């Protein structure tokens, strides 16, 4: 009986130590595998991108940006729900101006309806401008869009160009769409 108690005592000491050792080996093995996977992961920055720490920031001289907007959405009954749209153009550079050359509004068929900037408009650092398409303006249709062109004298942080759509009524909706660069230039 005494020998049985001794075996139990030894087992109660070695079993937790053995479990701890197995868990430690598994932990170290998984960490080394994670490190290997991170080393193998290839992240290549987009061309014309400036890397600052852990963030990738685009510094460029000009862009042409496509922004989808919607003057209405079709409900399940087929009736259109009219939407009010705000095109927001934000100079995200804290030190430099950008110049808006045009903000051309197109309808669903791709016909230009209007250019909202007949003259260049300068946006100072961190300044925002907006264009409002009222919900009663249904010229664009559900596939309307803007093409926005801007330039800067030196490479700057790219502006944030978004459209925010809002519909009021029984089934209120709101959503945004983000501009997508079609072309850009860096000196």
C-alpha dihedral sign at 106, 109, 110, 113:
negative
Residue 4: its pLDDT value, please?
65
Residue 165: its pLDDT value, please?
87
pTM here is 0.67
- Of the candidate CATH numbers 1.20.1530.20, 3.30.70.270, 2.60.290.11, 3.40.220.10, the domain formed by 60-185 belongs to 2.60.290.11
Residue 52: its pLDDT value, please?
47
Residues 184, 81: Cα–Cα separation, whole Å: 35
> Within the chain, which residues score under 70 in pLDDT?
1-11, 15, 26-27, 30-58, 169-171, 187
Residues 113, 136: Cα–Cα separation, whole Å: 15
Q: Are 171 and 75 in contact (CB under 8 A)?
A: yes
Residue 98: its pLDDT value, please?
96
Residue 31: its pLDDT value, please?
65
**Three-state DSSP class for 152?**
strand
Exposed e or buried b per residue across 147-181, where buried means at least 16 C-beta atoms within 10 angstroms of its C-beta = bbbbebeebbbbbebbbbbebeeeeeeeeebebee
DSSP string over 59-118: EEEEEEEEEE--SEEE-TTS-EEE-EEEEEEE---SS--EEEEEEEEE-TTS-EEEES-S
Q: Which two tokens stand for residue 51?
A: 């890397």
Give the domain ranges of the chain: 1-42, 60-185
Residues 123, 131: Cα–Cα separation, whole Å: 14
């Amino acid at each position: 009986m005494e020998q049985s108690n001794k075996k139990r005592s030894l087992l109660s000491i070695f079993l937790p130590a053995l479990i701890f050792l197995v868990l430690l080996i598994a932990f170290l093995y998984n960490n080394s595998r994670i490190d290997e996977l991170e080393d193998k992961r290839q992240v290549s920055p987009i061309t014309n991108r400036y890397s600052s720490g852990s963030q990738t920031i685009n510094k460029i001289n000009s862009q042409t940006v496509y922004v989808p907007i919607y003057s209405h959405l079709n409900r399940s009954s087929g009736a259109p729900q009219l939407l009010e749209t705000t095109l927001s153009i934000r100079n995200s550079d804290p030190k430099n101006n950008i110049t808006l050359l045009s903000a051309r509004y197109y309808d669903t068929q791709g016909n230009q309806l209007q250019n909202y900037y007949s003259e260049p408009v300068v946006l100072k650092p961190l300044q925002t401008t907006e264009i409002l398409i009222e919900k009663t303006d249904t010229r664009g249709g559900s596939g309307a869009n803007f093409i926005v062109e801007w330039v800067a004298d030196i490479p700057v942080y790219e502006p944030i160009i978004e459209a925010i759509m809002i519909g009021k009524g029984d089934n209120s909706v709101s959503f945004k769409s983000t501009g997508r660069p079609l072309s850009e230039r860096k000196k």
